[in-house]
Structure 1
Amino acid sequence: MILVTGATGTVGRELVGQLLARGVRMRAMTRRPELAELPDDIEMVRADLGDPDSLTAAMRGVDRVFLLSSGPEIPTHDANLAQAAARAGVEHIVKLSSGRTGDDTATDPIPTWHRAGEQAVRDSGVPWTMVRPLGFMANALHWVGSIRDHGAVYAPFGQGSIAVVDPHDIAAVATSALTTESHEGQIYTLSGPQPLSPGEQTEILADVLGRPLRYIEVAPATARQSLIDHGVQDEMADAIMALRATALEAFTSVVHPTVEHITGVLPRPFRVWAENHRAHFARAA
């Protein structure tokens, strides 16, 4: 039995679908099962990484866990999960981490939180695999509103580029780590097939959508305020902006062969992701 935490998120939904396609027994964990909108034949459990007592029932009968956590509570949440897994006799934890956790110079919040979370998993004694994507293609969905209202993408750090990866490919690597052997103790840094700047992503989206789009670079302070205006707390807004700024560094533009090595399939390019999500942008058009 595989327990999938974060089952309603971008990567979690992809993982659930891929495990379901393989006929793997799984349990999807969420704080609000009634809003999950997952297939009816998937076992659901109500639990919260911030509530250790709720994890006891979630772990019953589980031998492998996919761990997805986010925000400033990553160290605590990962420790809660890892300790519950150890008590339950879980055999393997696959943690979704951050690509920049592997960058020794990265001292900004998100990689720092994930380093502590990774250490909590290691300290639990449960065998582990760390999956570290450099960036998510799905973050482009944040631009739907500005494409709708202005035919434009507003983003900072226009000179930077990140080798973003499709959540489908992240889930494919996690699926392999959860269902096949020889992944224990491995760290997998994932990328897409090419580094892209915000302007280059905008050009691809325009071509896929068949309409002109402009990329307009905004100041980091403006981008931060936009996050806050959309309900993001100050601490998290600062962490997101620090992560976005790393697009200017060489580390995040490196292409890694990991997806193909683990899955036997080349990682999907951003164009394929955009085509698969055209409906999101088409509704906005």
Structure 2
Amino acid sequence: MILVTGATGEVGRAVVDSLLAQGIPVRATSRDPARARLPDGVEVVAADLGDASAVAAAVSGVDGVFLLTGGSEIPLHDKTVATAAASAGVQRIVKLSSGRAGDDTATDPIPQWHRAGERAVRESGVPWIMLRPMGFMSNALMWAGSIREQGAVFAPYAAGRVTVIDPLDIAAVAAIALTSTPTGQILTLSGPEALSPGEQVDIIASVLGRPLRFVEVTPDAARAAIISHGVAPSMADAIMALRATALEDFTSVVHPTVPEITGRPAGAFRDWVARNRAAFA
């Protein structure tokens, strides 16, 4: 049995589906199991990842853990799960980390949180695999509202290019990593090409069959827009620091990990947009 945390999110749910397709029993954590809406056959247990006793019960009897945590509580939650997993004799942890966690010069919050989480997993003694994706294709969903209402995307860092990855590819790699990939590995994940925000908008326009505008805005304006959607200022700062890394060379590197692990090419951004067309139309 595999325990999946973050199972109701896009990546976590895809991991659940991939494991079920292989006939592997799945247990998932949720703060509110009644609202989890996971497939039949998934054992959903109530657990806040900061609650050591609830986490200990959740990891009891599982063979592996897919560890997906978010925000400033990443270090605490990763340590809580890893410690409980070690006590329960779990055979492996696959942690969804950040592509920048291995860069010691990255001192902004998100890589620091994941770096601390990775350290907690390693120190637990449980065999591990770290998944370090670059950007997510699904981040483009943040543009859906302005595309529908204004036919435009307003974003900073127009010159930045990122090898964004389809969340389904992350999940496919994770499912294999949870069952057969040798542990002790760091797997850096990317899509098949580096794209700027403007190039992504052009692809969305092509799929929708209508023109869209890309308008570069200042980082301050982008930060204000994030906060206007109810995000705390401190988290908005962390998001903006992550976005700024699109200007660095390493974010545009294509990594062969997805085809090496899954045996098929990484999905293209156009295919992701086509699959999610309704969100933008």
**Shorter-chain TM-score: what band?**
over 0.9
- Deviation of 1:137 (Å): 0.2
Q: Does the CA contact (< 8 Å) of 1:5 and 1:29 recur in 2?
A: yes
- Deviation of 1:41 (Å): 2.1
**Unpaired stretches in structure 1, ≥5 consecutive residues:** none
Matched residue type, 1:237:
A
SS in 1 for 2:222: helix
Q: Which residue of 2 aligns with 1:57?
A: 57
Q: Which residue of 1 aligns with 2:22?
A: 22
CA distance in 2, matches of 1:154, 1:77: 34
1:169-180 map, 5 Å: 169-180=169-180
- Deviation of 1:181 (Å): 4.0
Q: Which residue of 2 aligns with 1:142?
A: 142
RMSD, matched Cα: 0.9
- Deviation of 1:108 (Å): 1.1
Q: Which residue of 2 aligns with 1:256?
A: 255
Q: Which residue of 1 aligns with 2:275?
A: 276
- Identify which range, 107-116 or 239-248, moves more after superposition: 107-116
1:82-101 map, 5 Å: 82-101=82-101
CA distance in 1, matches of 2:147, 2:34: 32
Q: Which residue of 1 aligns with 2:104?
A: 104
CA distance in 1, matches of 2:13, 2:266: 18
Q: Which residue of 1 aligns with 2:238?
A: 239
Matched residue type, 1:102:
G
Divergent runs of 4+, >6 A: none
Q: Does the CA contact (< 8 Å) of 1:154 and 1:218 recur in 2?
A: yes
- Deviation of 1:116 (Å): 0.5
Q: Which residue of 1 aligns with 2:8?
A: 8
Matched residue type, 2:7:
A
- Deviation of 1:48 (Å): 1.2
CA distance in 2, matches of 1:35, 1:200: 37
Matched residue type, 1:67:
L
Are positions 1:213 and 2:191 aligned together?
Answer: no
SS in 2 for 1:72: helix
1:45-76 superposed Cα distances (whole Å, 9 cap, x missing partner)? 11111111211211121110000011111111
1:227-252 superposed Cα distances (whole Å, 9 cap, x missing partner)? 11111111111000000000000011
Q: Which residue of 1 aligns with 2:74?
A: 74
CA distance in 1, matches of 2:132, 2:193: 17
CA distance in 1, matches of 2:259, 2:265: 5
CA distance in 2, matches of 1:137, 1:38: 23
- Deviation of 1:33 (Å): 1.5
CA distance in 2, matches of 1:71, 1:265: 32
SS in 2 for 1:38: coil
Q: Does the CA contact (< 8 Å) of 1:103 and 1:251 recur in 2?
A: no
Q: Which residue of 1 aligns with 2:40?
A: 40
Q: Which residue of 1 aligns with 2:202?
A: 203
CA distance in 2, matches of 1:151, 1:181: 44
CA distance in 2, matches of 1:23, 1:101: 33
Q: TM-score, normalised by structure 2?
A: 0.98
CA distance in 1, matches of 2:105, 2:256: 23
- Deviation of 1:103 (Å): 2.2
- Deviation of 1:40 (Å): 2.1
SS in 1 for 2:72: coil
SS in 2 for 1:104: coil
SS in 2 for 1:29: strand
Matched residue type, 1:22:
Q
- Deviation of 1:125 (Å): 0.5
Q: Does the CA contact (< 8 Å) of 1:90 and 1:126 recur in 2?
A: yes
**What fraction of aligned residue pairs are identical, expressed as a percent?**
65
SS in 2 for 1:171: helix
1:21-59 superposed Cα distances (whole Å, 9 cap, x missing partner)? 111111011111112121122111111111112112111
CA distance in 2, matches of 1:39, 1:196: 34
CA distance in 1, matches of 2:35, 2:220: 35
